[in-house]
Amino acid sequence: MPWSAHVAPQIRRALVDDLTGLGVSAQVIDEAEIVVAELVSNALRHARPLTDGTLRVRWKTKAGVVEVEVSDGGGPSTPRPAPPALWSSSGRGLRIVRSLAHEWGVADEKHGRTVWASLGGPSRRRTH
């Protein structure tokens, strides 16, 4: 996808349409939509585009479990949930992801970084 905030609604629509067509439960679809929106927003706000100027968003399903991932060109710090701040107007994105996802993680790669989350059950990827 192009490196632009304008793609976020398009990504969410595509995800919801695809998961609905695959028969994924409504609760997992809702959670996946929120999580992908947070991951895309965080990438656009805190990272750089991939070398080709894009953002990569992928998802896969198996047995009702949805795994979403957002890849970018990396940033100055490793993504982690911000400490709770009562009056802050930002910084809640990864806390939301952590609260909805069964598992989530960060994979540093040769040309960037991927943040992923598994919803509806455990991930098939093992980071341990």
Structure tokens at 96: 């939301």
Residue 68's closest CA among 76, 56, 60, 78?
60
Task: State the pLDDT at residue 95.
Answer: 82
Residues of the chain with pLDDT under 70: 79-92, 125-128
Burial class (CB in 10 A: 0-12, 13-18, 19+), 56: middle
Task: State the pLDDT at residue 89.
Answer: 47
Q: How far apart are CA 25 and CA 90, in angstroms?
A: 30
Residue 32 DSSP code: H
* Residue 5: partners with Cβ closer than 8 Å, 6 or more residues away: 41, 44
Q: Does 3.30.565.10 match the CATH number of domain 5-119?
A: yes
Residues 28-58 have pLDDT tens digits of 999 999 999 999 999 998 999 999 999 999 9
Burial class (CB in 10 A: 0-12, 13-18, 19+), 46: middle
Annotated domain spans of the chain: 5-119
